[in-house]
Amino acid sequence: MSDLKIYPVCFTGQVKTVECDAAFQIDQSDTFKRYIRFARQNKATTLITCQCMSAGEGENRRRLKACYSSTHDNYWLARWSYSGAEHAPDCRFYSVWADEKQSEIYTSDVVKTVSPGCFRIKLPTGLQKKEAMDRDAPAQAPATKAGGKRKRQSAMRLLGLLHFMWEQAEINHWHPNFDKRPRDDAWAAWRLKQVAEKISVGKTPLKSVFLMMARPGTQGIKNNWATVDAAAASNRRLVMITCLKTCAREGEACLSGSLPLGQAAGFPALDVPADLISRLNRSFSREFGDWRRGRKVMLIAETDPSVKKFRQRDGKPVPYSTCRVIDAALMTVSTRFIPLDSSWEGVIEEKLWQEKRHFIKPLRYDGEADVFPDFLLKDVPGRELVPLEVFGMNTPDYLARKAVKLAHYREEYGEGNWWSWDACLANAAADIPAFPEKG
């Protein structure tokens, strides 16, 4: 990958705006540090932004924070959390990971930046099938712990890939202006297709095996047909993302030997082994419960290369494609495609939308859910981010993790600089605390 660049930085205050190009930042470093010190001392009225991308995207894009070390008496700039992907891929503030805790889930070779904005990802089962040596994907068991610390995973599972694509496409972000363009299946398919074009799994471009939500009669179905045929010709596995079909009353029967897919025009017929159905029911019981209650649930699946078979129709053999599913994962989302980890989170996401708030839903990838906040507010004056926590259980183990998390917030954000709601209290749904005021 090419060396990272130093882009101009803009300081916008109440009186004037100053832009410092790369040469100024290097040649006049003492003056540049004075600007940073002033911005830190006047953080309520001074905005610092990186100019690595085109203007006109809103003042909250690519914001930087002024940092200070009393030990070394030094000032410097850093990106805000959950803003790394907003920067140009060759910018020094760019990051693959929204939060560095996500990078700690995997070994260093699992996600590689191979060129600006393009990634190579390692999955448990590669996309190029090798007949003699191939093995099915391992069960989605949690990583073992060594010495009390969670062991880094040597490959990204399908849920991690789904979260990675969701985050790269910024579908887990919400801003009130997004209501001007309703989020539907076609919009999500378009965003994910753009991300798939930037990812390879081993030497295989993900776009060459990627099936996306499509309706009959659209270009999407033709694209899916072409992908299925080309992948079969090169003996490549398929990766598909779509939603589960709205659950009928007899929804349980739909899980026998197949998966009830919605928006799956151009997909091959799926053969789902019984052991995979059992594994999905164990690992994603909450998501299946959400599906049965009528919520929108996304599916990502990896399959063996498709094969042609024939069935009789009006006395004539008719060809069709079918493939065996080797692994899958589920994710519940709101009507705005914001991922949800509980029904209580759904209540808060709806309330945030109704109140026209600007927020992010952090994604855990293949890590532990209680490491990350449930939501992050981005529109509170004077605050970089405000964590929102929904506490939905009162078991001893859960309460112990809750105490650890609150202690972490006190240390990292300061007392009172986060929001929480105890959904286990009596009449909790009618007594949700007010969110911090927005600017």
Please indicate, yes or no, whether residues 306 and 241 belong to a single structural domain of this protein.
yes
State how far the Cα of 98 lies from the Cα of 339, in Å rounded to an integer.
15
Is pLDDT above 90 for 143?
Answer: no
Tell me what the mean pLDDT of segment 310-334 comes to.
88
Q: Which of 25-34, 82-91, 140-149 has the lowest mean pLDDT?
A: 140-149
Pair 204, 267 in one domain? yes
SS (HEC) of the chain: CCCCECCCEEEECCCCEEEECHHHHHHCHHHHHHHHHHHHHCCCCCEEEECCCCCCCCCCCCEEEEEEECCCCEEEEEECCCCHHHCCCCECCCCCCCCHHHHCCECCCCEEEEECCEEEECCCCCCECCCCCCCCCCCCCCCCEECCEECCECCCCHHHHHHHHHHHCCCCEECHHHHHCCCCHHHHHHHHHHHHCCEEECCEEHHHHEEECECCCCHHHHHHHHHHHHHHHCCECEEEEEEECCCCCCHHHHHCCCCCEECECCCCEEECCHHHHHHHHHHCHHHHHHHHCCCEEEEEEEECCCEEEEEEECCEEEEEEEEEEEEEEEEEECCCCCECCCHHHHHHHHHHHHCCCCEECCCCCCCCHHHCCCEEECCCCCCCCEEEEEECCCCHHHHHHHHHHHHHHHHHHCCCCCEEEECCCCCHHHCCCCCCCCC
In a domain, 116, yes or no: no
| Mean pLDDT of the region 331-353 | 96
| 34 domain-assigned | yes
Residue 141 in any domain: the answer is: no
For residues 99 and 367, the answer to whether their CB atoms sit within 8 Å is no
Instruction: Tell me the residue range of the domain where 34 lies.
Output: 9-83
In a domain, 133, yes or no: no
Q: Is residue 234 part of a domain?
A: yes
For residues 65 and 164, state if they share a domain.
no
Q: Are residues 67 and 190 in the same domain?
A: no
The answer to whether residue 259 sits within a structural domain is yes
Whichever domain contains 373, its CATH number is: 3.40.1350
328 and 414 together in one domain: no
Do 360 and 293 share a domain, yes or no? no
Domains: count for the chain: 3
d(CA 372, CA 364): 7
**Residue where one domain finishes, among candidates 83, 111, 143:** 83
Domain end, chosen from 271, 302, 333, is at 333
Q: Are residues 355 and 283 in the same domain?
A: no
For residue 27, being part of any structural domain is answered with yes
- Number of C-beta neighbours around residue 383 at 10 A: 16
Residues 351 and 318 placed together within one structural domain of the fold: no
Last residue of a domain, one of 40, 58, 83: 83
> What global pTM score does this model have?
0.85
**Is the domain of 170 the same as that of 245?**
yes
Q: Which of 140, 91, 95 is nearest to 326 (CA)?
A: 140
pLDDT of res. 135: 47
Model confidence band, residue 59 (pLDDT cutoffs 50, 70, 90)? low
- Label residue 402 by pLDDT band (50, 70, 90): confident
Same domain, 311 and 351: no
Question: CA geometry: angle at 321 spanning 316 and 325, to 5°?
Answer: 140
Over residues 269-307, the pLDDT tens digits come to 999 999 999 999 999 999 999 999 999 999 999 999 999
Residue 290, domain member (yes or no): yes
pLDDT of residue 41 exceeding 80: yes
Q: What would the pLDDT profile of 162-210 be if each residue is shown by its tens digit?
A: 999 999 999 999 999 999 988 999 999 999 999 999 999 999 999 999 9
Are residues 292 and 178 located together in one domain of the fold?
A: yes
Q: Same domain, yes or no, for 300 and 222? A: yes
Strands 359-360 and 316-333: unpaired
